[in-house]
Amino acid sequence: MPNTRYRTYVYHALLVVLVVVATIALQVFTGDFPVDIFAFPLNIVCIVLWLTVVAMLYKNRQNITLAKLLLSPGATWLSLAIMAAIGIYLGLQRQPNSSSWPVVMGVLYVLTHLAFIILRGWRNSTGIRWRFTLLHIGLFLLLGAGFWGAPDREQLRVALIENRPTHIALHTNGTAAALDYSIELKGVKAEYAESGMPTHFEAEIKVDGIETQLTVNHPYNRTLGEKIYLISIGNDNNEPYCIVEVVREPWQWVSLAGIVMLLAGAVMLFIRGPRHSATKIEK
Amino acid sequence: MVVFALSLIGSVLAWLKRERSGAAILFSGMGVVLFVTFVVSLWITLERPPLRTMGETRLWYSMFLLLAGLLTYARWHYRWILSFSTLLATVFMVINILKPEIHDQTLVPALQSVWFVPHVSVYMFSYALLGCATLLAIGGLVARSNRFDPAIERLLYSGVAFVTIGMLTGAIWAKDAWGAYWSWDAKESWAAVTWSLYLIAIHLALRPSTYNKAWLHRLYHITIIVAFCALQMCWWGVNYLPTAANSVHTYN
């Protein structure tokens, strides 16, 4: 038994070293991971293939070393260490780059491990393990939507001058794009405290013929997957203007489902508290 | 000052009695009630939740630290916990007393959200719970004892639950504010680091071998202490990093 465990750790360490060397080499020689290539529908195809491989490996987990590795406690420690390492790596960057090969491969590893332990642990002999399921599936959905949905996310800035409708927007990389509807600024309003600190920003806009009001923290929901945000307002030579941002994120509902599940799991974590180990010492 | 006088009396009474002291709980409890009354009156006076500035988060942290220390004492009656929580809370409050300018009535548009109060107050409460867990972990590490483990585990579970709720309410707010649940802003990145480290601690706590093997037991306590250091980085340390220049979370 100790020999088997030792061998598992050695295999795991070798696999990790191999993947780390490969991802660093890919980063050095090819640059960032080509996120945009994986936009819909390719991301859906990849998800289906990935989950199929996970299910097949899990089904044959007794005979396949890789499946054993991904179900081992070492994989959990490694996944959590990867999450912490990614946080430190991105937290020390001025312009966080979440599409580098090491980050992408790290998140894919965490997601794969999560898929394995969800398959193994979502129920036991007494039924569904609700706290485990909510926490792990919630994290799986939240991470998964951010990972697989990133290529489908669009962020477009639109500069609006009062009473001049436009449908021209700019991608974050500076390239122009045409919206399939027009936006028009009808007026702006700003209020300031005596100290000069702003207290209220507001823009009246017309989106595809519909008049609406934008304020900070209150975007306009144009469709289920698209929102329009107020970024800034101003006045240039008595000509009011504002900058708005159009965010298209079709995967936002998957993220929200993950957040809701994680929230429910966190509440259960508080209410039920610890079940094992140290509580026995107390008794 | 009255709050700290009451808390100090409670701490001394707790030290003096080997068993749980009702008088210590009474005095410390009066201190917490008075502190809560002060925060509520400040909220009414400012006409906004006092959660905007770093100093105001210190105020909530001190209040919750006293509360967490009191709850830990009432439940597990470690004689020293009230003294440590009072001392820590006092340090934070003295900084605030020396900087009265932190309380400005204005609430900038970005903070005018229904998520503002739950996000910050839940975070501050979790910081206080995890602060107490860290004090106990240091105690366990120094004394090489498992005496504090039941309390550490309960504080850890509650603290992580509230950190998770704070982080996720922040994500929902971020979606409303700038269009992304998560954007790897410096603060968010360090929140992820903190959360991951606390998850390592929780997964260690789940293993029975953690309480049987000395090195694993020490690793468990060290992980809690390191995670609390990451939490400090997330709370205020991030302001001193070069990355803070591009962060939407920096405040003073």
Interface confidence (ipTM) of the complex: 0.92
Give yes or no for B252 touching A (CB within 8 A): no
pLDDT at B188: 94
Residues of chain A neighbouring B180 (CB-CB closer than 8 A): 153, 247, 249
pLDDT at B29: 93
Helix (H, G, I), strand (E, B) or coil at A268: helix
User: What size, in residues, is chain A?
Assistant: 283
Task: Give the whole-angstrom CA distance, residue B240 versus residue B46.
Answer: 29
Give yes or no for B249 touching A (CB within 8 A): no
Give yes or no for A109 touching B (CB within 8 A): no
- Is the model more confident about A95 or about A23? A23
Per-residue pLDDT tens digits for A65-89: 899 999 988 899 999 999 999 999 9
> Average pLDDT of A38-46?
96
Are residues B79 and B14 in contact, defined by beta-carbon separation less than 8 angstroms? yes
Give yes or no for B178 touching A (CB within 8 A): yes
Nearest to B21, CA basis, from B33, B8, B12, B30 = B12
Percent share of chain A, pLDDT over 70: 96
> Average pLDDT of A112-130?
93
DSSP H or E run through A282: helix A278-282
DSSP strand pairing (A176-192 vs A166-171): antiparallel
The domain limits of chain B are 1-107, 111-246
CB contact under 8 A, A91 and B152: no
At residue B49, what is the residue type? P
Task: Give the whole-angstrom CA distance, residue A146 versus residue A254.
Answer: 9
Residues of chain B neighbouring A77 (CB-CB closer than 8 A): 200, 203
Give yes or no for A224 touching B (CB within 8 A): no
Give yes or no for A131 touching B (CB within 8 A): no
Residue B20, φ and ψ in degrees, nearest 5: -65, 130
Give yes or no for A86 touching B (CB within 8 A): yes
pLDDT at A165: 95
Per-residue pLDDT tens digits for A47-71: 999 999 999 999 999 999 899 999 9
> Average pLDDT of A135-139?
98
CA of B178: which chain A residue's CA is closest? A229
Task: For residue B197, give the nearest of A84, A227, A279 by CB distance.
Answer: A84
Task: For residue A259, give the nearest of B168, B179, B191 by CB distance.
Answer: B168
> Average pLDDT of A104-118?
97
Chain A residues 36-65 within an 8 A CB cutoff of chain B:
none
DSSP H or E run through A103: helix A101-121
Per-residue pLDDT tens digits for A217-233: 999 999 999 999 999 99
What DSSP string describes chain B? -HHHHHHHHHHHHHHH-SS--HHHHHHHHHHHHHHHHHHHHHHHHHTS-S-SSHHHHHHHHHHHHHHHHHHHHHHH--TTHHHHHHHHHHHHHHHHHH-GGG--S---GGG-STTHHHHHHHHHHHHHHHHHHHHHHHHHHHHT-STTHHHHHHHHHHHHHHHHHHHHHHHHHHHHHHS-S----HHHHHHHHHHHHHHHHHHHHH-GGGGT-HHHHHHHHHHHHHHHHHHHHHHTGGGGSGGGGG-S----
> Average pLDDT of A24-32?
94
Give yes or no for B203 touching A (CB within 8 A): yes
Give yes or no for A196 touching B (CB within 8 A): no
Give yes or no for B110 touching A (CB within 8 A): yes
CB contact under 8 A, A84 and B192: yes
Q: How many CB pairs under 8 A join A and B?
A: 169
Task: For residue B211, give the nearest of A81, A249, A281 by CB distance.
Answer: A281
Lowest-confidence region among A8-17, A133-142, B125-134: A8-17
Interface test with B, best of A92, A255, A277 (most B CBs within 10 A): A277
Task: Give the whole-angstrom CA distance, residue A222 versus residue A133.
Answer: 34
Classify A154-248 by CATH class: mainly beta
CB contact under 8 A, B205 and A274: yes
Query: Using a CB cutoff of 8 Å and minimum separation of 24, what contacts does A14-23 make?
Result: A15/A66, A15/A69, A16/A78, A19/A105, A19/A109, A20/A102, A23/A101, A23/A102, A23/A104, A23/A105
pLDDT at A279: 56
Residues of chain A neighbouring B160 (CB-CB closer than 8 A): 266, 269
pLDDT grade for A283, boundaries at 50, 70 and 90: very low
Whether residue A16 is predicted with pLDDT greater than 90 in this model: the reply is: no
Task: Give the whole-angstrom CA distance, residue B122 versus residue B45.
Answer: 22
pLDDT below 50 — which residues of chain B?
none
C-alpha distance from A66 to closest chain B C-alpha (Å): 22
Are residues A152 and A88 in contact, defined by beta-carbon separation less than 8 angstroms? no
Whether residue A110 is predicted with pLDDT greater than 60 in this model: the reply is: yes
Give yes or no for B213 touching A (CB within 8 A): no
Domain span(s) for CATH 2.60.98 in chain A: 154-248
